[in-house]
């Protein structure tokens, strides 16, 4: 499908996503140190839950922007059906949204 | 609860979790570069789904080991109820398990 | 938003959804009988998982059709942004999609 | 595994689960009528989300009780490992917990 994505036209979205991913990366590095330091399993599970929350929010933000920009654009050009199918195919793989 | 976790007695589990978290960290760094390079949203969503999958598997592995070691130990010492409550409290926060 | 939904123009979708919901209702009645008959918890959990699967598929089918019909229509009439916001607001509440 | 489940010894749990399942059945019947009446997709999605919430709570309640009774009992009889494996196998299939 379209390869001119939502990120090009929306520097605020791009910055927000980069920030969310960096935060998730920082959390994961912390979780790895917790595992290396043999910390308590339940505390590690809670940290994994926090990263899952960040990734769900990032996925939702991105899918929303994609629909607002790329899918809307495709619809306006009469190529909406393929764009919508592709979006829902991707959403299907998300473990949590 | 118990602070002698499952990770101390199970070096194989510890190594597996560290490997999974490292893999997730590598994926996230790749996703961040995809966002920085303004790549296609749907491809980024698919990569986020892949990280969600790794984290779910890691959480499941850890919760299973925790139950097998810590919760079982607590039950054998007659302190099972508190350990089970704590486990389910943690599972509740996991977005996907 | 729009109150002329996807279901009006798509009798096949409507029939499919009714069939899925009926199946889920049948499963739930069966699960209730399993609980009343004090059957084994793990077997009941597996049946709950089956109903969750049916509901996720129904939600996905409906959200896809809604996007294809209602959201697309709204975009074509220049009212896309509100329709997209509303869709993602609804998706946010789905436990699993 | 064990076929003397948690439900036998816990009439309060049994009554609570039956109530939750009945509520979910009632919701689903309502959703089916919404589909038959071609009501607005987004309103239907929100109702599906409500049923998902009830089922997740029911699954969590049941898995918790199962661990507290059946799994704990199995551990006390020295058959803990198989019971724990079986529990996590079942949890794996739950779409949301």
Q: List CB contacts (< 8 A) between D25 and chain C.
A: 25, 28-29, 32
D46 domain-assigned: yes
- What is the DSSP secondary structure assignment for residue A69, as one 8-state letter? I
Q: List CB contacts (< 8 A) between D51 and chain C.
A: 55
B2 domain-assigned: no
User: pLDDT at position D6, please?
Assistant: 84
Q: Is the pLDDT of residue B1 over 80?
A: no
Chain centroid to Cα C63, Å, comes to 8
What's the rounded mean pLDDT across residues A34-62? 96
Lowest mean pLDDT among B4-8, B79-83, C80-84: B4-8
Could you say which of A24, A32, A48 has the minimum Cβ distance to residue B59? A48
Interface contact A7, partner B, CB < 8 A: yes
Q: List CB contacts (< 8 A) between B66 and chain D.
A: none
Could you say which of D1, D45, D55 has the minimum Cβ distance to residue C62? D45
Give the other-Cβ count within 10 Å of C2's Cβ: 19
User: pLDDT at position C30, please?
Assistant: 98
Q: Is the pLDDT of residue A2 over 70?
A: no
Give the other-Cβ count within 10 Å of C15's Cβ: 11
User: pLDDT at position A9, please?
Assistant: 85
User: pLDDT at position B4, please?
Assistant: 59
Q: Give the span between the Cα atoms of D81 and D97, in whole angstroms.
A: 22
- Burial label, D35 (beta-carbon count in 10 A; 0-12, 13-18, 19+): buried
Q: List CB contacts (< 8 A) between A28 and chain B.
A: 21, 24-25, 28
Structure tokens at B29: 């760094």
C40 domain-assigned: yes
Interface contact B64, partner A, CB < 8 A: no
Q: Give the span between the Cα atoms of A78 and D44, in whole angstroms.
A: 28
User: pLDDT at position B88, please?
Assistant: 95
Q: What is the pLDDT of residues C70-91, one digit of tens each?
A: 999 999 999 999 999 999 999 9
Quick check: A90 and B14 CB within 8 A? no
Q: Give the span between the Cα atoms of D48 and B42, in whole angstroms.
A: 26
B3 domain-assigned: no
pLDDT, mean over chain A: 93
Q: Is the pLDDT of residue D1 over 90?
A: no
Interface contact C76, partner D, CB < 8 A: no
C5 domain-assigned: no
What's the rounded mean pLDDT across residues A19-28? 98
User: pLDDT at position C4, please?
Assistant: 59
Q: Is the pLDDT of residue C63 over 80?
A: yes
What's the rounded mean pLDDT across residues D24-45? 97
Closest by CA to C66, choosing from A58, A7, A71, B95, is A71
C2 domain-assigned: no
Which one of D69, D73, D75 makes the best mutation probe of the B interface by having the most chain B beta carbons within 10 Å? D75
Q: Is the pLDDT of residue A3 over 80?
A: no
Instruction: Show the domain range for C58.
Output: 10-91
Quick check: B84 and D96 CB within 8 A? no
B68 domain-assigned: yes
CATH number where C27 lies: 1.20.58.1000
What separation in angstroms does the CA of A49 have from each of A27, A38, A95, B58, D92?
Answer: 10, 18, 13, 11, 16
Q: Give the span between the Cα atoms of D88 and C62, in whole angstroms.
A: 31
Contact A1, A74 (CB under 8 A): yes
Number of domains composing chain C: 1
Q: What is the pLDDT of residues B11-40, one digit of tens each?
A: 999 999 999 999 999 999 999 999 999 999
pLDDT tier at A4, thresholds 50, 70, 90: low
pLDDT tier at D9, thresholds 50, 70, 90: confident
Q: Is the pLDDT of residue B3 over 80?
A: no
D34 domain-assigned: yes
pLDDT, mean over chain C: 93
pLDDT, mean over chain B: 93
Chain centroid to Cα A87, Å, comes to 13
Contact A65, C88 (CB under 8 A): no
Question: Interface pTM (ipTM) of the complex?
Answer: 0.93
Q: Is the pLDDT of residue A93 over 90?
A: no
Q: List CB contacts (< 8 A) between C6 and chain D.
A: 41
User: pLDDT at position A96, please?
Assistant: 79
Q: What is the pLDDT of residues C14-45, one digit of tens each?
A: 999 999 999 999 999 999 999 999 999 999 99
Q: Is the pLDDT of residue D97 over 80?
A: no
User: pLDDT at position D4, please?
Assistant: 59
């Amino acid at each position: 499908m379209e390869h001119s994505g939502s990120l090009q036209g929306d520097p605020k979205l791009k910055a927000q996503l980069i920030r969310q991913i960096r935060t998730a990366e920082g959390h994961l590095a912390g979780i790895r140190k917790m595992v290396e330091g043999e910390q308590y399993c339940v505390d590690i599970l809670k940290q994994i839950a926090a990263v899952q929350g960040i990734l769900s929010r990032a996925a939702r933000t991105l899918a929303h922007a994609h629909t607002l920009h790329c899918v809307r654009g495709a619809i306006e050009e009469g190529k909406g059906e393929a764009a919508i199918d592709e979006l829902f195919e991707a959403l299907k793989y998300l473990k949590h949204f």
